[in-house]
Amino acid sequence: MQRTKPPLFVTDFGEFEFVNALNWRIFRRQLGVSQERAVLALLAKDVEAGIVRVAPLTAAMFTRARQLARRDTRLLGTRALDVLHVASALVLQARSFLTFDQRQAKLATAKGLRLL
């Protein structure tokens, strides 16, 4: 992964997805509770240090997501929450975007975001 300068923005919804993903891994017995606590402590430390900035979802993000959905979902097959993540990045005026989802990556690239 390429390096980027702080802060790394994540929406509060993205933070929720991260917490849920960790706990899904616990459910699947791929991660232990102590490991989850350690990861969340590291995230909290990065937020405290300003390396990661958690931004709330806003009405502007939903408005932009609706615009993207109308124009791009029919072409790229993006799912609603993937569109919301890209829309949030655009509203936050991000230049770079990190994703492991191919359709989300196509949308981000189509909207001018550089993939990390």
The per-residue pLDDT for range 29-43, each reduced to its tens digit, is: 999 999 999 999 999
Quick check: helix, strand or coil at residue 54? strand
Q: Which domain holds residue 107?
A: 59-115
Q: What is the pLDDT of residue 102?
A: 94
| pLDDT tens, position by position, 45-68 | 999 999 999 999 999 999 999 999
Is 0.85 surpassed by the pTM of this model? yes
With bands split at pLDDT 50, 70 and 90, how would you rate the model's confidence at 2? low
Which of these, 61, 81, 77, lies nearest to 110 by C-alpha position?
Answer: 77
Give pLDDT, residue 80: 97
In this predicted structure, the answer to whether residue 92 has a pLDDT above a threshold of 80 is: yes
- Do 16 and 51 belong to one domain? yes
In Å, how far are 34, 48, 76, 105 from 102, measured between CA atoms? 31, 31, 10, 5
Give me the amino acid identity at 25. R
**Is 34 among the domain residues?**
yes
Number of domains in the chain: 2
Structure-block tokens of residue 40: 């969340």
> How high is the mean pLDDT of the chain?
95
> Residue 3 falls within a domain, yes or no?
no
